[in-house]
């Protein structure tokens, strides 16, 4: 019923990405309208353009929402995050393996209680909306109910979300492990129930190589064979001790990625978090298989994991999305994540242009998730997931913006000083899911 979602126009400055600046150059990578109109209907983008071009053609019945000192961009896409770690973000003092044992596993045990799981899922989805994130690739816990309630709550908000139950059958506390068979069966049931239901998708989710036996990884590969459009989501090469441990556990593998490769887990629907310390052979296989990496700068700095070599990975033809990796990541905000990504590049003597950052957090993320035919920018027909950002969100930002000349200046200030205070509104499928 089109009357249920009548056409609505949003008038503000509008910016969206058209392509990867690395491929086409900055000038051709984006579209910007200083006085723009975004026309949406039935959850989709009808068109975007300059107000002078769009407004005269609008039916007089269409409501026009006028937004002053605001910038509309596509909703942010978080290509790696753990919803069960919302309650233990900012845990002090450890690197990856001790951080997992001391903080993460004890918190994840609490998700045996489905009521607690739902409470955290709601809190998590509220936080995503508050930060302008409209799509995410999400880890659950080992408990299948944790993913069931996550999908239920995502469905209520009509969000495009990808999630999966953790597969973990060794090297973890006993009450946090499954078996190869139960992990396979539980994943299969969740796929049958949720995959491609509305805007939801399933990701087969082995935590990382050290917590799965070869038999469990084999069955994960079997699921991907049985359901070819399901995603695969895991961690890769984040921390030096982790890498050494993988080599001990899988002595027959050529390298870390090869463990996943040998079990049939590499494809254009595979997303590997981190991938900081990869050798040429691993890069070659990621590129050949069209797999993606989630670059998680706040997490990589927080756990002292290392500096992700973004330019080198892209030069080798590897798809990259941005991830917050909460709770090792320290912010739900993709704006804050872009700010930290800039600093990670600075430490490597490289620059990260704000238009490139915007691309990575929107259209680049959509491409990493093979969802760019549906989301990521304002091309006509795409789903209307967008955010209204306040250029005067804080006293400092307002003052600083008065000194900003170009679009690039403003965008860079926005992402360097911005966070959840910058997000006025978040829309999913044309409907408001958050208003500050």
> Residues in the site for Zn ion, rule: CB under 5 A?
273, 325
CB of 208 to ligand GUN, least distance (A): 4
Instruction: Report the residue number whose CB is nearest to ligand GUN.
Output: 328
Within positions 316 to 345, which residues make up the interface with ligand GUN, using CB under 6 A? 325, 328
- Alpha-carbon span 60 to 86, nearest angstrom: 45
Reply yes or no: is the peptide bond before residue 238 cis, omega within 30 of 0.
Answer: no
Q: Is the C-alpha dihedral spanning 75, 288, 192, 109 positive or negative?
A: negative
Residue (of 221, 230, 426, 432) closest to 333 by Cα position: 426
- In the list 8, 157, 160, 207, the residue contacting ligand GUN (rule: CB under 6 A) is 207
Is the CB of 78 or the CB of 383 nearer to Zn ion? 78
Is the CB of 20 or the CB of 331 nearer to ligand GUN? 331
Is the CB of 261 or the CB of 325 nearer to Zn ion? 325
CB of 381 to ligand GUN, least distance (A): 36
Is the CB of 250 or the CB of 272 nearer to Zn ion? 272
Residue (of 82, 85, 87, 37) closest to 63 by Cα position: 37
Instruction: Report the residue number whose CB is nearest to Zn ion.
Output: 325
Is the CB of 82 or the CB of 199 nearer to ligand GUN? 82
- In the list 199, 235, 277, 319, the residue contacting ligand GUN (rule: CB under 6 A) is 235
Is the CB of 330 or the CB of 360 nearer to ligand GUN? 330
Query: CB–CB of 265/224 below 8 Å?
Result: yes
Place of tokens 């951080």: 99
Residue 104 interacting partner from ligand GUN, Zn ion, none (CB closer than 5 to 8 Å by kind): ligand GUN
Enumerate residues 6+ apart whose C-beta is below 8 A from 121.
Answer: 83, 146, 149, 150, 153
> DSSP of 1-59, one letter per residue?
-GGGS--EEEEEEEEEE-S-HHHH-SGGGEEEEEEEEEEEETTEEEEEEEHHHHGGGS-
Question: Contact between 208 and ligand GUN (CB under 6 A)?
Answer: yes
- Alpha-carbon span 121 to 132, nearest angstrom: 17
Within positions 80 to 99, which residues make up the interface with ligand GUN, using CB under 6 A? 82, 96
Within positions 279 to 308, which residues make up the interface with ligand GUN, using CB under 6 A? 299
Query: CB–CB of 144/178 below 8 Å?
Result: no
- In the list 79, 104, 212, 237, the residue contacting ligand GUN (rule: CB under 6 A) is 104
CB-based burial, 344-368: b 16+ in 10 Å, e otherwise = bbeeeeeebbbbbbbbbbbbbbbbb
Is the CB of 130 or the CB of 235 nearer to ligand GUN? 235
Query: Which residues of this chain interact with ligand GUN, rule CB under 6 A?
Result: 82, 96, 100, 104, 207-208, 235, 238, 299, 325, 328
């Amino acid at each position: 019923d089109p009357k249920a979602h009548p056409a609505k126009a949003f008038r503000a400055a509008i910016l969206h990405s058209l392509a990867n600046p690395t491929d086409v150059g900055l000038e051709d990578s984006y579209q910007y309208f200083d006085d723009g109109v975004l026309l949406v209907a039935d959850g989709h983008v009808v068109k975007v353009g300059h107000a002078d071009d769009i407004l005269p053609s609008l039916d007089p019945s269409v409501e026009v929402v006028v937004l002053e000192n605001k910038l509309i961009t596509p909703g942010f896409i978080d290509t790696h995050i753990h919803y069960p770690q919302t309650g233990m973000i900012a845990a002090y003092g450890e690197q990856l393996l001790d951080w997992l044992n001391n903080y993460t596993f004890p918190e994840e045990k609490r998700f045996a209680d489905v009521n607690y799981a739902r409470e955290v899922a709601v809190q998590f989805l509220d936080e995503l909306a508050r930060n302008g994130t409209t799509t995410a690739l999400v880890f659950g816990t080992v408990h299948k109910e944790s993913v069931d309630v996550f999908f239920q709550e995502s469905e209520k908000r009509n969000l495009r979300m990808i999630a999966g139950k953790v597969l973990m059958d060794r090297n973890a506390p006993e009450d946090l492990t499954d078996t190869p068979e139960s992990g396979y069966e539980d994943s299969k049931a969740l796929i049958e129930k949720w995959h491609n239901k509305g805007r939801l998708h399933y990701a087969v989710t082995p935590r990382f190589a050290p917590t799965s036996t070869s038999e469990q990884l084999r069955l994960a590969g079997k699921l991907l064979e049985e359901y070819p459009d399901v995603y695969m989501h895991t961690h890769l090469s984040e921390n030096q001790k982790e890498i050494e441990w993988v080599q001990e556990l899988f002595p027959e593998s050529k390298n870390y990625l090869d463990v996943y490769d040998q079990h049939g887990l590499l494809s254009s629907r595979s997303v590997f978090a981190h991938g900081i310390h990869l050798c040429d052979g691993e890069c070659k296989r990621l590129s050949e298989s069209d797999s993606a990496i989630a670059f998680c700068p706040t997490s990589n700095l927080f756990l002292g994991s290392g500096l992700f070599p973004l330019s080198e990975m892209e030069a080798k033809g590897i798809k990259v999305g941005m991830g917050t990796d909460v709770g090792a990541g320290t912010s739900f905000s993709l704006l804050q994540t872009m700010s930290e990504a800039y600093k990670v590049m600075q430490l490597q003597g490289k620059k990260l242009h704000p238009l490139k950052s915007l691309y990575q957090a929107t259209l680049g993320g959509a491409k990493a998730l093979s969802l760019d035919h549906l989301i990521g920018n304002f091309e006509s027909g795409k789903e209307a997931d967008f955010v209204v950002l306040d250029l005067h969100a804080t006293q400092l930002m307002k003052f600083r913006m008065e000194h900003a000349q170009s679009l690039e200046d403003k965008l860079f200030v926005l992402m360097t000083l911005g966070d959840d205070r910058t997000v006025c509104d978040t829309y999913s499928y044309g409907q408001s899911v958050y208003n500050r």
